[in-house]
Amino acid sequence: MNTRQSLDESVGPLSLSTTFNNDNSCFSVGLDTGFCVFNANPCELKVSRDFNAGIGVAVMLGHSNYLAIIGGGRQPKFPQNKLVIWDDAKQKAVIILEFRTSVLGVRLSKSRIVVALLNSIHTFAFSTPPKKLSVFETTDNPLGLACLGQKLLAFPGRSTGQVQLVELETGNVSIIPAHGTPLRAMTLSPDGEVLATASEAGTLVRIFATNNCAKMAELRRGVDRAVIFSLAISPSNNLIAVTSDKSTLHVFDLPHPRNTAYRNQTESSSDERIYQKWGILGKIPMLPRVFSDVYSFASAHFEIGNETLNSAYVPPLGTSIGRPVKGLIGWSDNNTILVIGSGRDGRWEKFVLQEGKEGRRCCIREGWKRYLGAG
C-alpha cells in the first residue's frame, strides 16, 4: 500500500514566461497570478503585481512604467486575442488592441508596438490612441517571432524559412532566404547591422548583413538536431550566444561588416577559429563540411529542469503564450551572459567569459538562483 502523499504541484507560483527588456537590465515574468519584474544582475525582485489571474506574457519597455501584457494560464486575466499596454505607475490599462486571433508575440520601442499573430505582423504607433501603421503577411509563426531594432523590423516571410526585413523609416522590404525549414529563433545585433537566424533543424546559426542581406557566415552548434531556445548578440556586436534543448550554452565570435579583426582572422584560416573542433581534419579536402565548419569557442551547461509537460500548464494547441520557455539569453555586459527560464522551477543563471589555460577563452557559471523565491 502506497501511503506517501502525492505532491501538490499547484502550490506556489507558476512562471508562464520570461522576457528581458531592451538592454537586458531587467526581466519580466508572466505568472499564473499576475506578473513581476526583476533587476537582471544581480537578480532582485523589483515589482510584483497580483491580479489573481494569469498573465501569459509581460514585455517591459526599457526602464519605463509600461508593459505589454497578454492573458495566459488556466484563468487568463484577459482574452488571448487582446494586447494590453499596462501603465504600472497608474496601475491601469492605457491601450487595448484587439485582434481576431490569439496574440503570439509582442515587441515594444518608444515609438512602436509590434504584434505577432499566427500569419501576420501588425505595427502601431505607440500613442494614445494607437495608430495602425502596417500589416505584413507571414507563413505560420506559432512562436510569435519578431525582432524590433531602432531602424529595422525582422520577422518570418511568406514562405518557409524566409525572413522579411523592413526599414522602419521607408517601409522598404527585403527578403532573406535564410533556411529551408521553419524558423525557430532570430535576433538583431544591438547596432542593427547583423541578423542571426536558426531553423527547426537546430544545427546551424546563419549570420546575415542587414545592409545588403548577404550571408556572412554559418556557425555550427552541433551535428545532431536540436531545439534552439534563444539567440542573443553581445552589446559590442562581436559575440553571439546560443542555447538549445541539449542544455548547452554556446558562445561564438560574430562576423560583423565592420569587424576587420574577424575578416583578417577568417581570411588567414586561423586554426583556432575555423579548425578548433577537428584540428587537421578540417584541412583535408573532400571530407564532410562538419569538419571545416566554425564551432563555438566556449560552451557551458545550463539547467533546463526536470519538469514534464504535466507539471506545468500547457496552453491549447496553436498558441505559444504561456508555454514555459527555457534558456532565454540576455547579455549583461560583453563578458556576462544571463540565462533564465520559466515554469514551476523558474531559474536565473549567470555565466562569465574568462581566459583559461593557454589563452583559450572559456565560459564559467558564476551563480544561479530560483527567482520565484527571490526578494
| pLDDT value of position 293 | 78
Domain membership of residue 212 as a residue range:
150-246+248-301
Q: Give a yes or no: residue 42 inside a domain.
A: no
| pLDDT value of position 288 | 47
Cell of 189: 545585433
Burial, 290: exposed, middle or buried (Cβ in 10 Å; 0-12, 13-18, 19+)? middle
C-alpha separations of 134 from 29, 111, 163, 281 in Å: 29, 14, 17, 51
Q: Return per-residue pLDDT of the chain as tens, 375 residues.
A: 444 433 344 556 789 999 999 999 999 999 999 999 999 999 999 999 999 999 999 999 999 999 999 999 999 999 999 999 999 999 999 999 999 999 999 999 999 999 999 999 999 999 999 999 999 999 999 999 999 999 999 999 999 999 999 999 999 999 999 999 999 999 999 999 999 999 999 999 999 999 999 999 999 999 999 999 999 999 999 999 999 999 999 999 998 777 644 444 444 333 444 434 444 444 445 444 444 578 999 999 999 977 644 444 444 433 445 456 899 999 999 999 999 999 988 999 999 999 988 889 999 999 999 998 754
| pLDDT value of position 321 | 54
| pLDDT value of position 345 | 86
| pLDDT value of position 80 | 93
CATH code for the domain in which residue 218 is found: 2.130.10.10
Alpha helices for the chain (secondary structure H): 260-267, 271-274
Cell of 91: 496601475
The rounded distance, in Å, linking the Cα atoms of 179 and 303 is 29
Q: Give a yes or no: residue 234 inside a domain.
A: yes
- What total number of domains does the chain contain? 1
Q: Give a yes or no: residue 227 inside a domain.
A: yes
244 contact partners, CB below 8 Å, separation of at least 6: 202, 221, 222, 226, 227, 228, 229, 250, 327
The rounded distance, in Å, linking the Cα atoms of 284 and 287 is 6
* pLDDT per position as a tens digit, 135-185: 999 999 999 999 999 999 999 999 999 999 999 999 999 999 999 999 999
The rounded distance, in Å, linking the Cα atoms of 85 and 67 is 6
Q: Give a yes or no: residue 240 inside a domain.
A: yes
Cell of 225: 538536431
The rounded distance, in Å, linking the Cα atoms of 37 and 30 is 9
Q: Give a yes or no: residue 269 inside a domain.
A: yes
274 contact partners, CB below 8 Å, separation of at least 6: 266, 282, 292, 294
Q: Give a yes or no: residue 160 inside a domain.
A: yes
The residue length of the chain stands at 375
Q: Strand, coil or helix: what is 65? A: coil
Q: Give a yes or no: residue 157 inside a domain.
A: yes
Question: What are residue 310's phi and psi, to 5 degrees?
Answer: -85, -10
79 neighbors 69 (Cβ within 8 angstroms): no
Rounded (5°) CA angle 164-167-170: 130
- Amino acid identity of residue 156, one-letter, is P
| pLDDT value of position 255 | 86
* pLDDT per position as a tens digit, 327-354: 999 999 999 999 999 998 899 999 999 9
Cell of 113: 508596438
347 neighbors 370 (Cβ within 8 angstroms): yes
96 neighbors 83 (Cβ within 8 angstroms): yes
The rounded distance, in Å, linking the Cα atoms of 217 and 112 is 31
Q: Give a yes or no: residue 281 inside a domain.
A: yes
